[in-house]
Chain A
Amino acid sequence: MTKNAKTVILLLVIAVLIAVIPLFARKGAEFGGSDDAGSVMVEEIHGEYEPWFTPVLETALGGELPGEVESLIFCVQTGIGVGVIAFFMGRFVERKKWMKKLGTDSETDGEQTDDCD
């Protein structure tokens, strides 16, 4: 287990480094989205390109989604995901504890459904 914990920490540190290093390595870069870079490329290959359909939301708003609101919605998305994962992970961790207490090893699986409703 401790070995696993070490691996996890090491891996997470590497992941954070990969994400953060470019910020310092490329000071002053814009860090725009690469999806947008794709549409720039389309224009380069195809000449002027007018998208033939605008996003539903932008039509409804009559303009682009404000940047701050966009980051809000991205946060909501992350939050939903993290919430679900954390909730179930928490349950799993607790379950493992009381399973040990009961002497039933986590190997017991099968029909018991009391931990999942």
Chain B
Amino acid sequence: MPKKEKILLKASIACAALFAIAPVSNAMHIMEGYLPARYCVAWEVICLPVLIAGVISLRKKVNENRRNLTLIAMSGAFIFVISSLKIPSVTGSCSHMTGTGLGAILFGPSAVSILGIIVLIFQAVLLAHGGLTTLGANTFSMAIAGPLAAFGIYRLCEKLKVNRKVGIFLAALLGDLFTYCVTSVQLALAYPSESGGVFASAVKFLGVFAPTQLPLAVIEGILTVVIVIGLETYARPELKSLGFLGREKEAK
């Protein structure tokens, strides 16, 4: 196992290096070629340690109990489904959700970064949606920052003894919104507006994304709660082996 682990780690580093060297392409939310090269590289470098931590964390979870694999696959699949659904929003444009909240709540933010980047690569290569050059930036916003926010909020709600379903709802909702906030800031950093600088620019980008995303974030929250209810009903052993249900009891 350790040998395999090493190989996997090396492979991931090689892949990451490849992405960092290759002209970076579009990420999921930022279109291909829309970020200047140095930003692309910078974001990728920032993502790298998290991705490696993610690989290690996933390996550890699978080694602990092979059962965890099922839930890992399911949260990955959840991201696949959720991020493929383009949903019309009140602003008259369509957007899609991230779906990373579930994985973040179950496995922690670093593990989700791997699941997220798989989806991002799928969409960048096959759908020209996002892109390979912007992969680093998009990974950071969707697969790292969003899940981190979701995870933090979920834990906070747990501490504050908020109803758990409400906590999950809030975590998924705010995680989704935060993803788009980060995307706005990323765009703003690359394109500060002439009059107001980075901040004014960020507000502008946020103005485009936020109203569209808000209803979708609510939907994402709802769907995440629904799937957690389903898992709690039928997959108790798995959730327990993850420590997910155990923690709940302590919190209550």
A21-41 with Cβ < 8 A to chain B: 21-23, 25-26, 29-39, 41
Q: State in angstroms the CA–CA spacing of A114 and B229 once bound together.
A: 24
Question: How many A-B residue pairs lie within 8 Å, measured between CB atoms?
Answer: 209
B128 touching A77 by the CB < 8 A rule? no
Given contacts A51-B31, A88-B70, whether A81 and B94 have CB atoms under 8 Å apart is no
Chain B interface (Cβ < 8 Å from any Cβ of A): 23-26, 28-34, 36-37, 66-67, 69-70, 73-74, 76-95, 119, 122-133, 165, 183, 187, 191, 193-194, 201, 204-205, 208-209, 212-213, 215, 218-219, 222-223, 225-227, 229-231, 233-238, 240-241
Residue of B nearest to A13 (CB): B222
CB neighbours of B77 from chain A (8 A): 80-85
Give A2 Cβ to nearest chain B Cβ, in Å: 11
CB neighbours of B32 from chain A (8 A): 51, 53-55
Give B186 Cβ to nearest chain A Cβ, in Å: 10
Choose among A12, A46, A107 the residue with the greatest number of B CB atoms under 10 Å from its CB: A46
Residue of B nearest to A53 (CB): B33
B215 touching A34 by the CB < 8 A rule? no
CB neighbours of A80 from chain B (8 A): 77, 80
A102 within 8 A of partner (CB): no
CB neighbours of A35 from chain B (8 A): 28-31, 95, 129-130
Chain A interface (Cβ < 8 Å from any Cβ of B): 1, 4, 7-8, 11-12, 14-15, 18-23, 25-26, 29-39, 41-42, 44-46, 49, 51-58, 64-65, 70, 73-75, 77-78, 80-85, 88-89, 92-93, 95-96, 106-109, 113, 116
A18: contacting residue among B94, B129, B215, CB under 8 A: B215
Give B231 Cβ to nearest chain A Cβ, in Å: 8
Give B27 Cβ to nearest chain A Cβ, in Å: 10
CB neighbours of B240 from chain A (8 A): 109
Give A41 Cβ to nearest chain B Cβ, in Å: 5
Residue of A nearest to B79 (CB): A81
Choose among A20, A36, A55, A83 the residue with the greatest number of B CB atoms under 10 Å from its CB: A55
CB neighbours of B229 from chain A (8 A): 4, 7-8
Interface of B is mostly: helix
Q: State in angstroms the CA–CA spacing of A11 and B228 once bound together.
A: 12
Residue of B nearest to A116 (CB): B67
B84 touching A77 by the CB < 8 A rule? yes
Give B197 Cβ to nearest chain A Cβ, in Å: 11
Q: State in angstroms the CA–CA spacing of A36 and B31 once bound together.
A: 8
B187 touching A15 by the CB < 8 A rule? no
CB neighbours of A15 from chain B (8 A): 218-219, 222-223, 226
Residue of A nearest to B77 (CB): A84
Given contacts A34-B212, A38-B31, whether A73 and B127 have CB atoms under 8 Å apart is yes
Choose among B76, B89, B201 the residue with the greatest number of A CB atoms under 10 Å from its CB: B89
Give B82 Cβ to nearest chain A Cβ, in Å: 8
CB neighbours of A88 from chain B (8 A): 70, 73-74
Give B67 Cβ to nearest chain A Cβ, in Å: 5
